[in-house]
Amino acid sequence: MASLGTLFRLIRANWVLAREGVVAALPGDALEGLPRLAWQFARLIAKRRVAGTARTDRIAKAVARLGPSYAKLGQFLATRADVIGLDMARDLAGLLDKMESFPTAEAKAAIAESLGAPAEMFFAEFGEPIAAASIAQVHPAWVEDAKGRRKVAVKVVRPGVREQFRKNNAVFMLAAQIQDRAFASSKRLKPVEVAKTLEATTRLEMDLRIEAAALSEMAEYTRNDADFRVPAVDWDRTGRDVLTMEWIDGIPLTDMDKVRASGIDLSKLGVTVMQSFLRHALRDGFFHADMHPGNLFVQRDGTLVMLDLGIMGRIGRKERRFLAEILYGFLRRDYRRVAEVHFEAGYVPADQDVASFAQALRAVGEPIYGQPAETISIARLLTLLFEITDLFNMATRTELLLLQKTMVVAEGVARALGPHFNMWEASKPVIEEWIRDNLGPKALLTDARDGLSATANLIRRGPELAERFEALAAEADRSVRDGFRFDAATAEAIGKAEARAARSGRIALWVIAATLIVIAVRLW
């Protein structure tokens, strides 16, 4: 059962979102029953001054009141256009994760605790913070060693942030459980799984050694890419709460005036952004999942540099093949093949009709191809794909959500660099190269080698597998003969757990409802 503290924090969050006009700004005319009543009530209690204010500004004000955890929640939900809609996802993607900085003395204390010695032992000079976000802030510093004096960037975790996120993650989980139980239509969107993913993501993001490892891995994959790089990690000055890396002299893509004034070829840079993302996703299966302009720098020679690798995405070889074939099918307007790939991947239930799905995909693709080449958009394609998922009972594919969101963001960055950016022309060489290398004769040799290796491993484990199978067969025989049995304690524990779960959901709903009624009475 949720604690009273968690219930209170959930009620407060709903109140702030309603008062700041965030809920009222959502489309609610199509809602029915309790959701529509809640939406109408939220419109009633929204502050009068928020009328006419852009939804992005309303969200920013609500986040400022609720704290860093909600900024991170907003960033995470920006990856779930299937849950909140593409328009809302775009608004959240524009929510900048900027917070007040904490004192440098506290940063030095965190460094000392993480690295086991005072900050002065590691840095010859340590500057004031230049950027602060929900989880950490960045300081310039200087190191003096055998390599000479050099400037570095030092990222330090915000004090107390773990406890704050622990409490608010409990709030997010409670909200997801209520949604899952109260609204049957939301089960397809897996709200509890979304909350669990958020909790796991933030836990990893608060260990800066994980980000350092991501930087190292990305550097290894991209060491031969002439137009892309990531900062080098200083492992001697990196721990759980501190990450030290190479200082990057470059221009952030948030400062477009400086980028234009630098004389860098913006069209070429846009192509580099898109092709880098696709190479990372298709070739490496490992990509930056938060590619907003603030995390992208360009150096004077046009090299693209990625920072802040706290949120990374991975997709397996099989998913990469499906992605490449889907994009390639749209490029060739082969909707039947795109439909078949969706079924082969298990994205569409087997009881659906392939031909009907191909027809729906044609309805998605053809309007796009009727546009001028420079306006053809993957973002538009994904929007339309989301709209047909309900028609064919397609479940949420959590392993592809970060990929889909990042593809849209990367395209947006590329278009900002050049309004006539041709999405398909930029993507085509990378997709065709991957198809050639992974679905042609070269791929057959690779698959054959992998198959032989798997067969050899199976033969080596033969005796062990045979022994396990024999034990399993004996257990199955006993179950068929005697039936499955629980002892009294197990049966009682299962019953109590089910009762607690049902009671928790009911109590949470009634507490929230009672609170809203009290608020309404006071307002009237």
pLDDT tens string 156-204: 999 988 888 888 888 888 888 877 776 666 666 677 877 887 788 788 8
What single DSSP character describes residue 244?
E
In the set 82, 91, 234, 290, the catalytic residue is 290
Q: What's the confidence (pLDDT) of residue 12?
A: 83
Share the mean pLDDT of the chain. Answer: 78
Q: What's the confidence (pLDDT) of residue 348?
A: 83
Q: What's the confidence (pLDDT) of residue 313?
A: 87
3-state class percentages of the chain: helix first, strand second, coil last, to nearest 5:
65, 10, 25
Collapsing DSSP to helix, strand or coil, 25 comes out as coil
pLDDT at residue 103 tops 90:
yes
Which residue type is seen at 252? P
The tens digit of pLDDT for each residue in 193-249 reads 778 877 887 888 889 999 999 999 999 999 999 999 999 999 999 999 999 999 999
**Percentage of the chain modeled with pLDDT above 90:** 27
Q: What's the confidence (pLDDT) of residue 155?
A: 97
Identify which has the larger pLDDT, 73 or 428: 428
Q: What's the confidence (pLDDT) of residue 9?
A: 81
Catalytic site includes residue 290: yes
Q: What's the confidence (pLDDT) of residue 173?
A: 83
Task: Encode 118-166 in three state secondary structure.
Answer: CHHHCCCEECCCCEECCCEEEEEEEEEECCEEEEEEEEEECCCHHHHHH
When mean pLDDT is compared across 71-75, 392-396, 442-446, 479-483, the lowest value belongs to: 442-446
Are 411 and 379 a contacting pair, CB within 8 Å? yes
Cβ atoms within 10 Å, residue 300: 11
Q: What's the confidence (pLDDT) of residue 163?
A: 86
pLDDT at residue 514 tops 50:
no
Residue 178 structure tokens: 């209520």
Distance CA 471, CA 477 (A): 10
Identify which has the larger pLDDT, 343 or 54: 343
Cα-flanking dihedrals φ and ψ of residue 298, to 5°?
-125, 135
Q: What's the confidence (pLDDT) of residue 179?
A: 74
Residue 367 structure tokens: 């309007």
Q: Which residue has the tokens 């939301």?
A: 186
Q: Which residue has the tokens 């524009």?
A: 94
* 440 backbone φψ class: left, alpha, beta (φ>0; ψ -120 to 50): beta
Q: What's the confidence (pLDDT) of residue 457?
A: 66
Residue 19 structure tokens: 């008062």
pLDDT level of residue 84 (50, 70, 90 thresholds): low
Distance CA 66, CA 64 (A): 6
Residue partners of 211: CB distance under 8 A and separation at least 6: 155, 205, 243, 308, 309, 310
Q: What's the confidence (pLDDT) of residue 328?
A: 81
The tens digit of pLDDT for each residue in 406-461 reads 777 788 888 888 777 887 788 888 888 888 888 766 555 555 566 666 666 667 77
| Residue 321, CA distances (Å) to 210, 223, 440, 453 in order | 27, 23, 12, 21
- To the question of pTM greater than 0.75 for the whole model, the response is no
